[in-house]
Structure 1
Amino acid sequence: MFIHNINPVLFNLGPIEIRYYGLVYALAVILIYILLRKYKEELGLKKDGEIETLILIVFLGMLVGARIFHFLFSDLSIFIKDPFELLRIWHGGMSFFGGLIGSVLAGWLYVRKKKLNFWKLADIIVIPAALTLGIGRIANFANAEIVGTITTVAWCFDFGDGLCRHPYQLYAAFYHFVIFGALVYIQQLKKRINLKQGIVFASFLFLYCLFRFITDFWRDDTRWLGLTIWQGFSIIGVIIGVILLYSLFKKK
């Protein structure tokens, strides 16, 4: 058994605490900005400020969706008691599925208004997103949050409650990095054999939800009929991913 004693605060700037998770968000924005700048002509983002506006809209959509889903499915009682807790993002509490829906919806609305290719854009953004999600899980580990179920395996961690638990965050980080590598390969393959736009995003959705469904059996969370609510969303995501992949390969 290992004892978790990592300080969640990376460093301080006067009274401001810089935490690992804040750096993850900054990294995500930087990576997405670099890629959008690289492919701006191909994506049709030619006007000044369009890239920055798109990133801001997608990020806000992600933030709103992630917070709403977190309170709706994990901490509804806290939200009912104090609705303004929704705005206190520094208190933590984000849902991947809410963030995905929020960012996709916000991005789609912006792209539709600008008459751009949504799937081409999604294929590019989702690659650095997968990488930063993996780094984000390492930040979760540093913060001792989203812990695993109680276990007796040799590599278990005590996250401060005196119980030996699966390092679920590290399992999740690993599969995110695997997905990132797979997406990079698929993106390169798409260029070589002319796969349809949207294939990278559809692959991400399928792979993420498949891995999430499997690894959530080692996540300490509320369950119904033996499954977490997020495993329910994962099943839906796998189905949507399969439908998207089938339709894209059928069109080829």
Structure 2
Amino acid sequence: MTILHQIDPIAFSLPAFELFGRQFHPQVHWYGIMYLVAFASAWWLGRRRIGAGRLPGVDRTAFGDLLFYCMFGVILGGRIGYVLFYAFGDLVADPTMVFRPWEGGMSFHGGLLGVLVAAWLWARRQGLHFFDVMDFGAPLVPLGLGFGRIGNWIGGELWGRSTDVPWAVVFPKSLPQQFWALDDASLRALHASGALDAFARHPSQLYQAFLEGVALFALVWLYSMKPRPRYAVSGLFALGYGVFRFLVEFVREPDPQLGYLAFGWLTMGQLLSVPLILLGLFLLWRSRKAPVLAPQPPAAKAG
């Protein structure tokens, strides 16, 4: 028996209001809430690492500035990366679409590039080595990735490929067009009869939440608990994410506007993950003769 996905992506609605002659009906989506939870988890974990002196010379106020920089990097980079990597044709037809993120479309790889730029600017202002900042921040990222994938799951988007595994899920948005006008009750009745089982798919969002979120967090966090050579923690994160993402793409439905890029299986997600895998291997290799940044817990204030 398959599972029918019927989760309301809207957490709650705000009172309607009129502005400049237009009616607005604000709605708060679970996906947006997951972004807030992701940033909150990075803030909490980062303050713990700052308190342990894992980025010497940086206090919690300066860390707050870093997180602020990276928040903008994630949002701007994620959106720009999506339209460049996955919707370039739409961008050419309508350049203003880059300013409408609420229509959907964020890219991890674009968000990563945005964070790298933001962290580089912050590190330069602080007079710190860029990869000391990256090694500090890498363990803060995976949980946020996991929360983002849970947001995808709640929204019933970015589903997997067709399958008959026992935990297969029927996503209403992935059904053929003749089912789109049916209400929830009708869909439930069809599902109960088994008529929708042929359209069941892998819940790849949950696979990614576990691999990119839980597993990658455990791997990188535990590895970073002991002082490591410069580049090592960043290298492990890049390698781990790249491998996990490359593997899960085998059961994730490719973006419809792109399809498979080569060999009947290569997706854009896999293509973009290869440089991360290579970068991770290079950084781990380079870390062999790199210095180790010893923790320097902040001195207790006299009082």
- The answer to whether 1:122 aligns with 2:134 is yes
- The answer to whether 1:245 aligns with 2:281 is no
Q: Whose RCO is larger (CA < 8 A, sep 6+)?
A: 2
The code of the aligned residue for 2:9 comes to P
Instruction: State the identity %.
Output: 32
Alignment of 1:24-35 (within 5 A): 24-35=34-45
Q: Secondary structure at the match of 2:158?
A: coil
Q: Describe the shift of the 1:27–1:43 C-alpha distance in structure 2 as closer, same or farther (beyond 3 A).
A: farther
Distance in 1 separating the partners of 2:290 and 2:73 = 30
Task: Please report how far the alpha carbon of residue 46 of structure 1 lies from its aligned counterpart in structure 2 after TM superposition.
Answer: 4.3
Distance in 2 separating the partners of 1:116 and 1:31 = 24
Distance in 1 separating the partners of 2:129 and 2:47 = 16
Q: Describe the shift of the 1:47–1:134 C-alpha distance in structure 2 as closer, same or farther (beyond 3 A).
A: closer
Q: Retained in 2: the 8 A contact 1:44–1:116?
A: no
How many residues matched? 247
The code of the aligned residue for 1:178 comes to A
Query: Please, which runs of 5 or more residues in structure 1 have no aligned partner?
Result: none
Higher deviation after alignment, 100-109 or 7-16: 7-16
TM-score, structure 2 length as denominator? 0.76
Residue equivalent to 2:299: none
- The answer to whether 1:232 aligns with 2:232 is no
Task: Please report how far the alpha carbon of residue 7 of structure 1 lies from its aligned counterpart in structure 2 after TM superposition.
Answer: 0.5
CA RMSD of the aligned region, Å? 2.0
Q: Secondary structure at the match of 2:249?
A: helix
- The answer to whether 1:95 aligns with 2:95 is no
Q: Among 225, 234, 249, which residue is 1:216 paired with?
A: 249
Q: Retained in 2: the 8 A contact 1:43–1:117?
A: no
Distance in 2 separating the partners of 1:208 and 1:108 = 21
- The answer to whether 1:170 aligns with 2:206 is yes
Q: Retained in 1: the 8 A contact 2:37–2:147?
A: no
4+ residue segments displaced more than 6 Å: none
Structure number with larger C-alpha Rg: 2
Q: Deviations over 1:52-96 (max 9, x none)?
A: 432222221222221122111211232222222211122220111
- The answer to whether 1:82 aligns with 2:116 is no
Query: Please, which runs of 5 or more residues in structure 2 have no aligned partner?
Result: 16-24, 176-195, 292-303
Distance in 2 separating the partners of 1:7 and 1:140 = 12
Distance in 2 separating the partners of 1:142 and 1:58 = 25
Residue equivalent to 1:62: 74
Residue equivalent to 1:155: 167
The code of the aligned residue for 2:4 comes to I
Task: Please report how far the alpha carbon of residue 235 of structure 1 lies from its aligned counterpart in structure 2 after TM superposition.
Answer: 1.4
Q: Retained in 1: the 8 A contact 2:39–2:144?
A: no
Q: Describe the shift of the 1:71–1:211 C-alpha distance in structure 2 as closer, same or farther (beyond 3 A).
A: same
Residue equivalent to 1:144: 156
TM-score, structure 1 length as denominator? 0.90
The code of the aligned residue for 2:109 comes to F
Task: Please report how far the alpha carbon of residue 245 of structure 1 lies from its aligned counterpart in structure 2 after TM superposition.
Answer: 0.4
The code of the aligned residue for 2:29 comes to R
Q: Secondary structure at the match of 1:99?
A: helix
